[in-house]
Amino acid sequence: MFKKIAVIGAGIMGHGIAEIVALNGYVVFLCDVSEEILQEATKKIVWSLRKMAEKGKLSEEDLTSTLNRIKTTTSLAEAVKDSELIIEAVPESLELKRELFSKIDRMARPEAILGTNTSSLPISEIAAVTSRPDKVLGIHFFNPPVIMPLVEIVCGDKTSRQTLDSILNFVKTLGKQVVVCKKDVPGFIVNRILEALIQEAAWMVHRGEASILEVDSAVKYRAKLPMGLFELSDYVGIDILYSAGKAIQDRDKGVIVSPLFEEYYKNGWYGRKSGKGFYAYSGGLWERPKIPPELADNVDLKEIFASAVNAAAWLLRNDVVEKEDLDKAVILGLNFPEGILRMADRWGIDVIVQVLRTKQLKYGEYYNPDPLLENMVANNKLGVKTHRGFYEYTQ
């Protein structure tokens, strides 16, 4: 197993990745462009570890040893020298990541594995600037890395089986659960489904079919998601979701970004961090928008979720992910109460297809039901009511 690991980028994801890696016994070199950034990252790591110690999850001895395993540096060469695994966690810019990977490739030992924490950018295009595309893959942690239980591993076009197996074993030593995205498709697993879901909600509001509060109330109180979709967008950052949606749309039209997201993005209304998004914020740490439960029945959940089910079917039909991993991804990565395939089986595959066809007639080919769904309907695999759908059900 790896003895030295480098994490490049000490922002919100980078310092969290460094912390979870060090907590599990690895020596980690955390690298960024300035001492000020590294000092701020170290403060946040110390704060997080102290919170664990206060809750009895970490002894003082383990806290000290964890901090001793984290080395900081502004020298990329020092960070990657002798590192067997290098995890990049810089901002979501393909140009920036390609430039960085080209440098790392020249500095790192030939056998070192290079991972990117991107949530949506193409792994193969990042790997193409290196001399070792077989040793490059996506290692997508979720925010915050120390708490979120899931890591999404994404294979590039040339990622070797040996590289994949090494990283699967490594991630399991961190106490994380893993899903494998077998092909380098836009959005991977989680973001392809999340973007289809959130953008559809935004399209419905844009078209006047529902209000922001009605959508969030239905999702929160009937679908039992921990946050409304617009509430979640404000929390994650409308700028981040807009950019991820555009990255998917530009590559294969798996998502069409709504005018609502475009408007908020261009106005700088990014959500909590800007004080205004789909809701307004006054700066309170635990501030949450008030979403009235009495609006929950005003919107049909299937209207909101049908596009996400369609995206899930596309992933399965194209052998991007196994169905069990797909449902695990939305449960652990998005905090769904159950897998989206289970939800579809419960609603009825024929009902989902009918919703999509109705939208297709009104709004165009984006809503064309995936052939997998149409084939399931043709073979009476309608879900729970026929005892077989994505899964088999007993009487």
Helices (H) and strands (E) in the chain, counts: 17, 8
Give the residue from 342, 316, 321, 315 showing the smallest Cα distance to 179: 321
**Backbone torsion region of residue 382, taken as left when φ is above 0, otherwise alpha when ψ lies between -120 and 50, otherwise beta:** alpha
Whether omega for the bond prior to residue 144 falls within 30 degrees of 0, making it cis, is yes
CA 360 vs. chain centroid, Å, equals 28
Dihedral sign (CA 44, 48, 54, 60):
negative
Active site residue 152: yes
What is the spatial distance between Cα 387 and Cα 383, in angstroms, rounded to a whole number?
6
Q: For residue 52, how many other CB atoms are within 10 A of its CB?
A: 17
Type of residue numbered 334 = L
User: What distance in Å separates the CA atoms of residue 169 and residue 149, rounded to the nearest whole number?
Assistant: 15
Residue among 122, 15, 136 at smallest CA distance from 86: 136
Catalytic residue chosen out of the listed positions 83, 117, 166, 191: 191
Of the residues 83, 117, 119, 233, which is catalytic?
119
What is the DSSP-derived secondary structure letter of residue 152? Answer: E
Cα torsion through 210, 269, 41, 119, rounded to 10: 50
Of these residues, 140, 217, 233, 258, which one is catalytic?
140
Tokens at residue 60, please?
Answer: 């003082």
Residue 140 known to be catalytic: yes
CA-based end-to-end distance of the chain:
47
Q: Which residues are catalytic?
A: 119, 140, 152, 191
